[in-house]
Structure 1
Amino acid sequence: MDTFTAFAGQTRIAAGPLPKVALVLKHAAPNTEPIVIFNDRTGLPIDIDLRGSDRDILARLPVDAGVAADQPPSGPRGRGRPKLGVVAREVTLLPQHWEWLNAQPGGASVALRKLVHEARRANGDSDRAREARDAAYHFMSGIGSNLPQFEEASRALFAGDLARFAGLIADWPPDIRDHAVALAHRHRAE
C-alpha cells in the first residue's frame, strides 16, 4: 500500500496511508498555508475532497491508493482471471515474436509472464533507483522548484550523485529537504 505525505506550505503535517493522512487533515486546526498531499511512491501530488463526515471522506478516496483494494471491480467481467489479478490486455508484436512465444511450453501467456518476472528480477535495483529518483524529482518540482539550487540539485539527482544532491539542498526548509532526501534514498531501504 502506498504512503502519502501532506505539507502545509513548507511544513510536513501528516504522513502514512491515505486514510490516516486524510483524517489528520480533516481534524487539523485551520491553516492558511496551501495543503498539498504527495504520493511517496511517485512523488506526485494528489487531490482529495475533505468535505463531509469521516465516512464520506474515506468513501471518496481513490481505489488505486490501496484503500478499497479488496472490493471487486465494477462493470462487466472481462477476459483473464480477475480473482487472481490476471487481466487481459492487448500486446502488439511482430509475427516472429508470436511464433516464438506460441512455441514455448505453456504458450504465449506463460512465456510472457516468465519473461516479465525474469526482467523484474534482473532489473529490480535499477528500476527501484529510477523510481526513487523520479519520485524525489516530482516532489521537488511540486513543492520546491523556486528554492535555491533547485536546478543543480536536479542535475545531481539525475546523475545519481546523492551526496552532492543532499549538499545542494542542505539549506532548504528542513521538512522539504528531509523528505526529498528520503525519497531519493528510498530504493536502498527496500
Structure 2
Amino acid sequence: MNTQMTYTAFLDEQCLASGLLVDVATAIQQYANQSNSTVLIFNDQTGKQIDLDVSGSKQDIQQRYAEPEMVKKVGRPKLGVISREITLQQKHWDWLDQQSSSASAVIRKLIDKELNDPNSESNKMLAKQATDRFMSAMLGNMPNYEEATRALYQGNKDVFLDLIRDYPKDIKEYLILKTQNIF
C-alpha cells in the first residue's frame, strides 16, 4: 500500500517541483525568496493546498519536513492500531465469524484491498475531488473551467481533455496525470 504523501508546487502556471514534502520544500526555497508571485503547494492525494515554512538553511528545511527515521527497538513493534467501535448488522458479524482471521484482521484486509485499487469507485471519487480542488485553485477564472469540472465528474474523458487542451502546459500535464485512473 502506498501511503506516502507527495506534493507538487506551482509558481503561477509553472510546475516547480513534485515529490516528497522535504524535496518540494527544498526545491521551492529559492523561488520563495526571489519572486513576487506566490508559490502554491498541493497535496497530490487530496488536492488541498498547504503552506510551508521555507525559511532558514537547507538543513533547517530538511529537519522540519523530513520523515522521521524508523528506529529499531527491541521487543514487539507498535502496530499503530487505534481501537474504535463499529456497528454491523448480524449478517455481517455472522460472515466475519466464519472467516479464518479475526474480525479486525478481515476488516483491515478489506480496507487495504480497497485502498490499493485505484479503479475502485470510492478511490475514483476521491481522485475527482482532489482534481476538483486543484482545478478550483489554479483554474477558477480560466475559460471552460466549469465545463471541464462537469466533464470530470461525469467521467467524460474526451470532453474533459478537449476542454483543457489550451490550458498552460504544466497544469494540463498535471491534470492528465491526476485523472489517469478516473476515466
Whether the TM-score (by the shorter chain) exceeds 0.5 is yes
Instruction: Pick from 170, 178, 183 the counterpart of residue 175 of structure 1.
Output: 170
Matched residue count: 172
1:19 aligns with 2:18: no
Partner of 1:129: 124
Q: Deviations over 1:115-158 (max 9, x none)?
A: 4355557x651244333322221210121111111110000001
Give structure 2 stretches of 5+ with no counterpart. Answer: none
Partner of 2:90: 96
1:152 aligns with 2:151: no
Q: Which has the higher helix share?
A: 1
Aligned equivalents of 2:19 and 2:110: distance in 1?
34
Give structure 1 stretches of 5+ with no counterpart. Answer: 62-66, 73-80
Q: 1:53 to 1:175 in 2, by over 3 A?
A: same
Partner of 1:68: 67
* Greater CA drift, 102-111 or 19-28: 102-111
Q: Deviations over 1:159-187 (max 9, x none)?
A: 111221111112222222221122111x3
Aligned equivalents of 1:41 and 1:12: distance in 2?
17
Give the alignment's TM-score, normalised by structure 1: 0.75
SS at match of 1:91: coil
Q: 1:118 to 1:163 in 2, by over 3 A?
A: same
**1:148 partner letter:** P
1:162 aligns with 2:157: yes
Conserved? CA contact 1:136–1:181, under 8 Å: no
Give the alignment's TM-score, normalised by structure 2: 0.78
Q: Hey, which bits of structure 1, 4+ residues long, moved more than 4 A?
A: 117-121
Aligned equivalents of 1:51 and 1:117: distance in 2?
38
